[in-house]
Chain A
């Protein structure tokens, strides 16, 4: 596993703690490269023929594939091991964070105070949405939002330490690959764009926010999230790295920014962690916040094309507390964006790429690209000029 680039907020990890984390990374690489591909072969050669013999047809959708596979012994082992690897990933990073908990909180206070750049605005009255509190998203105990002591940063430190283990370092030394992908996509498509104000929705520890501040040093960059501990960590982390970002605790469904505040509204694998009620509101809020000529870019996780692929991506829905992810399968996001205020000809799905080794891909062999929901808010033109 490539070592993450150290920064002042990353918790030091003792010898045996590091060894435990290394083991989880090895386990996950084995599951992704050696066991998960077997699930596809077992489906094709064992489960599917059984289904065809019984029904004289192929499974109609991912739900039928799931019911079929849930009784398959090979799939049961992969699935149970994948679940256990996710649990052990969190356990292996919680240990060192807990041991240095007080020290990390102190360090964040010091960094935010002395060398702090950007700003941090928390809102104790903000109601944490039920899609965060009902279950702990992707099994992180306490989620993004739970405080375990005053001025807590533990959730952020845990998340930052876990990300390199999660995908075997594929997210880069700064855990910012998804931000870099989206910045790269924007630069390729709109080479001349010079956004003055940028908003990152659901920014968590700001790992994908920083590439925007880096790419556009003259822009004012904002990051919002509902979780206080991840935002405190994000501010301290950005300060440690000398990046001025303005973090505030807000729900992306309804922020306190004025209409037309931003030239760019972005998010990185955030939409699938919301709900059917929240999603249209977030898209409407994105539209409201964009200035004329502004751009909305929401990067999401692929959901597969065939029923089998969709079933594999859907594993997260039923086994990793990504309970809303399944709903996103086949969802017409551009249509939702249009209902939220964007004009049909100005919204679509495009794709942004990432180089991934086989050992890091969990669910598929094909080239790994992320769908990007693009929404453009055209420069204000008169109705007659448009007609």
Chain B
């Protein structure tokens, strides 16, 4: 993620915890793919934050300087705007879960295609 040079002599720290990772879906490939998707979300979020820094700095100075971007920290207003954008993007990506809730519980929960097919194919004379 960060391409900055590492300071001093470094020993690699482990990234994986000890203990068996649970399987969440019937197909383990789904587990792996979901992991990758969320990590991709993070990468995209990081890139977008960085771009945001660049844009704000450009607007402010009209000059692009790499070290300035590195040192830039959002003020309260910018941080709040970022939080809002991140939350919105996260909500978009996980909207599929809202869909499941709505389909199961919502007031306009759609019926199955079989139900609809039966409804539309029914003889109108038999309905009131």
Contact = CB atoms under 8 A, between A and B. Distances in A.
Interface of A: 1, 14-20, 22-24, 26-27, 29-30, 34-35, 38, 41-42, 45-46, 73-74, 76-81, 83-85, 87-88, 90-92, 94-103, 134-136, 139-143, 148-149, 154, 158, 318-319, 321
B7 A24 contact: no
B46 A23 contact: yes
B13 A76 contact: no
Contacts of B64: none
A148 B82 CA distance: 36
Contact of A318 (B12, B22, B69, B87): B22
Contacts of B8: 101-103
Contacts of A46: 104-105
Closest A-B pairs by Cβ, 9 of them = A102-B8, A135-B19, A19-B49, A80-B24, A136-B17, A23-B45, A141-B14, A26-B86, A139-B17
A124 B72 CA distance: 43
Q: Which size class do B's interface residues fall under?
A: 35 or more
Contacts of A87: 17, 35
Contact of A73 (B31, B83, B90, B100): B100
Contact of A135 (B17, B72, B83): B17
Contact of A99 (B7, B39, B97): B7
B59 interface: no
B72 A15 contact: yes
Q: Is the interface of A mostly helix, strand, loop or mixed?
A: helix
B118 interface: no
Given A22-B45, A134-B19, A135-B19, 5 more contacts: A17-B1, A20-B45, A27-B90, A42-B100, A139-B17
Interface in B56-87: 69-73, 82-83, 86-87
A77 B99 CA distance: 13
Contact of B97 (A77, A83, A98, A136): A77
A178 B109 CA distance: 43
A16 B52 CA distance: 12
Nearest to A105: B8
B113 interface: no
A257 B110 CA distance: 67
A45 B70 contact: no
Contacts of A42: 100-101, 104-105
Contacts of B104: 42, 45-46, 74
B108 to A, nearest CB: 15
Contact of B49 (A22, A90, A139, A158): A22
Contact of B41 (A27, A73, A99, A319): A27
B16 to A, nearest CB: 6
Contact of A154 (B2, B13, B16, B90): B13
Contacts of A41: 101, 105
A134 B20 CA distance: 11
Contact of A148 (B13, B24, B71, B72): B13
B6 A20 contact: no
Nearest to B35: A84
B10 A34 contact: no
A102 B8 CA distance: 6
A132 B24 CA distance: 25
Interface string B92-128: 0010011011001100000000000000000000000
Contacts of B38: 27, 81, 84-85, 88
A23 B42 contact: yes
Nearest to B13: A98
B7 A141 contact: no
Nearest to A23: B45
B94 A99 contact: no
A305 B89 CA distance: 35
B74 to A, nearest CB: 9
B72 A80 contact: no
Given A26-B87, A34-B91, A140-B17, A83 B22 contact: yes
